[in-house]
Structure 1
Amino acid sequence: MDKILFIGGGQMTEAIIRPLIAKKIYSANNIFVNDINDSRLHYLQNMYNIKPTKQIKANADIIVLGVRPQDQWAQVIKKLKPENKNTIIISIIAGVTISQIKQSLTVDIPVIRAIPNTLTDTEFGYSGVATNTQDQSVVKKYLVIKFFSSFGKLELLDESLLDIFTGYAVAGPNYIYYFYESIVDAGVLAGLHRDLAKRIAIENLYGAAEMLRLSKKHPRELLDINNSPAGVGINGLYELNNSDFAAALQRSVQTAVKRTIELGQINKHKPPMPTQKPTNE
């Protein structure tokens, strides 16, 4: 079976490992994690039965770079010397470009830059994936498709779109959670018990999303179907139209995208901050 080495055992790494093992697509015996934090490695080993390692020269089919952008990622990458000539690197380091990774590598192997979705346990959500022209064909390999489809869907993008993807798609659940919280509060304000308001809101979110998917209708068409003249629904929409709801949502996305770009620029113009000396020799 395919072997995967995660360099960095943080929250996103764990969120990816969890469905890989739960769906039995990968064996825990073939998942290795390297991290400078021993307690984190012990936790992951005890929780998922994966293989902790201090080595970064493992014979892995996929190496996932999951260190933080402020850590010494360049030094870690320079030490990568995969024994497997067909190894593929997947970087989930925020703000670090494919070009930067290629410059730090001492071996010529394909590099994929990915922005994983945060809905990894649900099989929903897109992971944004980019690579350079030279390595583009590797994204279509079964090995890569299997990896990303284990925790959602794969969307191949130009690298220039990854910042927008991050602010819109990866941050997207935030907007849904906030809407859900607000609509539940609205139900409570109107007089429903919170538990009932929650159950109704969840059912409506699922149902409305499925209606959009199945009907393939424009939302306005569904709104027209759902609202009779001078009825309850259209009166509720009238009040919503008088609010700043749509513009506020759009501003939220724009702000998230702007911040993603800012973080990338900070990482681009500043050298990695010295932290604890890496032990992965």
Structure 2
Amino acid sequence: MAKLDERIGFIGGGNMAFAIGSGLIRGGIVKPSQVLVSGPHIENLARWRELGAVTTDENYEVLEHTDIVFICVKPHMLAPCAAQLKYKHVPSAKDASKLIVSVLAGTSLQTLEEKFDFIESSGLKVIRTMPNTSMQVGEGCTVYTGNSRVTHQDLEKVHLMLNALGLAQQVPESMIDAVTGVAGCGPAFVYTMIEAMADGGVKQGVPRQMALQFAAQTMLGAAKTVLLTGKHPAVLRDEVCSPGGATIVGVHELEKGNLRATLINAVEKSSQRSAELGKK
């Protein structure tokens, strides 16, 4: 596994940041001492310190002392966060090589360039990403895109980090909000389905913990089958449905409940909301 020598910073130490940072540390991509994390409440960063990362309640320290800076605040906090950083920023020769990586939903490269234009007068290097929280177990799904100043080497470094935590792929910026609805929000949809399947098992007499374990493993196994066989999900579903059997009866109930249309609508609404968040 390749490793990075750069110092990695996280402005905002919440769940998404922790999923990325903890995955990088546990995967051996970076050492804990290479990671610096900031948050408004230092006590909330205890789990980072347990990993061996350095923590601070000053955002500007992350910007000043790291090479690759992940911006992990909520979209509506971007403007005040950037204004605070601008006030305390001390220009240096390192600014030209600094790489800003955003995980903010709906926030365009142009907006990020405008908010952080104080860092490098000749143009800042910015990468926009949309990861998901499954990164914390090494099964994330992330898309990313860079502005015109980002080099191939910069993209390779970000790809190394994100791909080590699951699947990572570079896409046009115009596709990111749509992918947010599938991959960024998708884990919540899947958790809802796992819970519902387990509830069905409990209703039929399976103990709760066992039902949850079986439902989760079944979802994991089905997903892995799609990825490893390359077969269309409809083909795999047909392989499970014996004529007149138990599965086709269950599939019929899913169709009557409009599960397929409901999931399509969920992805559509989440994609639209992602775009709206960046405009506020």
> TM-score if structure 2 supplies the norm length?
0.84
Give the equivalent residue in structure 1 for 2:260.
246
Give the equivalent residue in structure 2 for 1:47.
50
More helix by share: 2
Give the equivalent residue in structure 2 for 1:126.
141
Aligned residues of 2:37 and 2:62 also touching (Cα < 8 A): no
Identify if the C-alpha distance between structure 1 residues 199 and 102 changes in structure 2 by more than 3 Å, giving closer, same or farther. closer
Identify if the C-alpha distance between structure 1 residues 190 and 76 changes in structure 2 by more than 3 Å, giving closer, same or farther. same
Q: Deviations over 1:111-165 (max 9, x none)?
A: 1011221112221121121222443635532x22222234222221222222212
Q: Which amino acid aligns with 1:10?
A: G
Alpha-carbon distance, 1:101 to partner: 2.1
Alpha-carbon distance, 1:176 to partner: 0.8
Measure the CA separation in 1 of the matches of 2:41 and 2:99: 25
Q: Say whether 1:10 aligns with 2:24.
A: no
Give the equivalent residue in structure 1 for 2:83.
75
Match runs of 1:57-68 below 5 Å: 58-68=64-74
User: Structure 2, unaligned stretches of length 5 or more?
Assistant: none
Q: Report the count of equivalent residues.
A: 264
Match runs of 1:202-217 below 5 Å: 202-217=216-231
Identify if the C-alpha distance between structure 1 residues 246 and 87 changes in structure 2 by more than 3 Å, giving closer, same or farther. same
C-alpha RMSD of matched pairs (Å): 2.3
Identify if the C-alpha distance between structure 1 residues 190 and 35 changes in structure 2 by more than 3 Å, giving closer, same or farther. closer
Measure the CA separation in 1 of the matches of 2:220 and 2:105: 31
SS in 2 for 1:121: helix
Alpha-carbon distance, 1:44 to partner: 5.0
Query: What is the identity percentage for the equivalent residue pairs of Structure 1 and Structure 2?
Result: 28
Q: Say whether 1:169 aligns with 2:180.
A: no
Measure the CA separation in 2 of the matches of 1:213 and 1:4: 31
Identify if the C-alpha distance between structure 1 residues 83 and 28 changes in structure 2 by more than 3 Å, giving closer, same or farther. farther
Measure the CA separation in 1 of the matches of 2:167 and 2:50: 25
Alpha-carbon distance, 1:90 to partner: 0.7
Give the equivalent residue in structure 2 for 1:236.
250
Q: Say whether 1:101 aligns with 2:109.
A: no
Q: Deviations over 1:39-78 (max 9, x none)?
A: 345x255322222344245343211122332231331453
Measure the CA separation in 2 of the matches of 1:263 and 1:121: 24
Give the equivalent residue in structure 2 for 1:31.
35
